[in-house]
Amino acid sequence: MSKDNTPGFDTLAVHAGAQPDPATGARATPIFQTTAFVFEDVDHAASLFGLQAFGNIYTRITNPTTAVLETKVAALEGGTAALAVASGHAAQLLAFHTILEPGDEFVAVRQLYGGSINQFNHSFKKFDWQVVWADADDMESIERAISPKTKAIFIESLSNPGGGVTDIEAVSRIARRAGVPLICDNTLATPYLCRPIEHGADIVLHSLTKFMGGHGNSMGGVIVDAGTFNWSREGRYPTLSEPCESYHGIKLHETFGNMAFAIACRVLGLRDLGPALSPQNSFLLLTGIETLSLRMQRHCDNSLAVAEYLNNHDKVAWINYAGLSGHRHHNLQQKYSPKGAGAVFTFGVKGGYDAGVKVVSNVNLLSHLANLGDTRSLIIHPASTTHRQLPEPQQIAAGAGPDVIRLSIGIENKEDIIADLEQALNTI
């Protein structure tokens, strides 16, 4: 890599954060499967515990294998720092734990993964964190949802399960006017298709379990700090702006600047709540990320072919894939993810709930399971599974109504994927 040029995406995916192991010369990042790390001396230990030096203490907080993963994802997203944790839900928990105090509110758009809707509606209320819902297709609804208690806005770049495209720049302008950070879940797009920080996001989250790891073999999540938000503004974010009792009164934003949010999530949230990512999973996720661009382009190419096939099928009532030229979000897709519209989308079968259940029960090549972002093509009926906990009106609002089938298209031969869907649809 030239020192005079910024490495390309594929080069970063392979090399960012990774060096040959100095002890053994190993080229692949080793799995540092250890609980704790030996200190050089008492002064070294004190400096680590006091945040005067960076280093390893305990794998719940830092680990060398995981550190390579964090550096790599931050580089791919264009952030200043990252924190990798046990799952995407853990990433959301730690991000909001750092931002919110009891009684605070945040605005979230309804076009979200059903698990996020459940987390926000129910689990977060135990912390007295209140979600106010808006519509990603209606910027005025986001404006109306903001109050003096609002501390953040939450969106997905590509929505799950519908695959809709959010106008990130428009939401960012609203967040700037309100003086709050924009948090963007970029799981479905990955930084190969979309880099939300370039469009005004302040924090980017991922379920690394999905396309980033890409092989359905390991769970993980990540928080990426864009380094763009002023956490000391008006004292609205005391975790970052006020003296921290845990670390002898240091002010995290004042001390760590544009990495402060990621560090606060680590040294307060991860330290005390504990959803640490295992080194083994960090290794597997790193291996997956090395081929991210190759896989994502194949995912997108296959998905467009499948979407075009379904769009002309007489047993399909509708299809929601932004890569199709007639889709309402096609122009947004061309702006934010011009390489492709992702690999997750929904379609509706004629016959409603029963027909949807019958299709997912009769596939052979496609796997019927609750995941996405695998090399394998996956299928699910959200109303009976991932969104089952929601009342039907909320299912419909989230794009997971009774007739909806969600696909996550893999990297198999597109002809084989289409053939399997054809025989399953013929069972209706």
Domain match, 261 and 320 both: no
- CA neighbor of 90 nearest in space, from 223, 210, 281, 211: 223
Domain match, 88 and 228 both: yes
pLDDT tens, 210-242? 999 999 999 999 999 999 999 998 999 999 999
Residue 4, in any domain of the structure: no
Domain match, 234 and 325 both: no
Domain match, 177 and 220 both: yes
Residue 280, in any domain of the structure: yes
Domain tally for the chain?
A: 2
At 408, give phi and psi (nearest 5°). -125, 105
Listing from the earlier edge strand, what are the strands of the sheet with 182-185? 81-85, 221-225, 203-207, 182-185, 150-156, 105-109, 130-134
Residue 288 sits at the vertex; the CA angle it makes with 344 and 308, to the nearest 5 degrees, is 25
pLDDT tens, 269-284? 999 999 999 999 999 9
Residue 235, in any domain of the structure: yes
**The last residue of a domain, from among 259, 288, 317:** 288
Domain match, 369 and 258 both: no
Domain match, 168 and 52 both: yes
Bridging pattern class, strands 344-349 and 316-320: antiparallel
The rounded percent of the chain whose pLDDT value lies above 90 is 89
Residue 244, in any domain of the structure: yes
Domain match, 17 and 90 both: yes
Domain match, 276 and 421 both: no
At 318, give phi and psi (nearest 5°). -165, 165
Residue 388, in any domain of the structure: yes
Amino acid 392: pLDDT: 83
Check: CB of residue 50 under 8 Å from CB of residue 247.
Answer: yes
Q: How far apart are CA 42 and CA 323, in angstroms?
A: 58
Q: How far apart are CA 255 and CA 264, in angstroms?
A: 11
Specify burial of residue 320 (Cβ count, 10 A radius: 0-12, 13-18, 19+).
buried
Amino acid 162: pLDDT: 80
Residue 1, in any domain of the structure: no
Amino acid 403: pLDDT: 92
Amino acid at 102: P
Kind plus residue range of the DSSP H or E element containing 7: none
Domain match, 325 and 215 both: no
Helices vs. strands in the chain: H and E counts, helices first? 18, 12
Q: What is the pTM of this model?
A: 0.95
Domain match, 164 and 299 both: no
Residue 2, in any domain of the structure: no
Domain match, 69 and 200 both: yes
Q: Which residue stretches of the chain have pLDDT < 70?
A: 1-4, 398
Amino acid 388: pLDDT: 78
Domain match, 304 and 274 both: no
Residue 14's domain comprises: 9-288
Amino acid 1: pLDDT: 45
CATH code of the domain in which 363 resides? 3.90.1150.10
CA dihedral 288, 292, 296, 298 (to 10 degrees): -80
Amino acid 230: pLDDT: 98
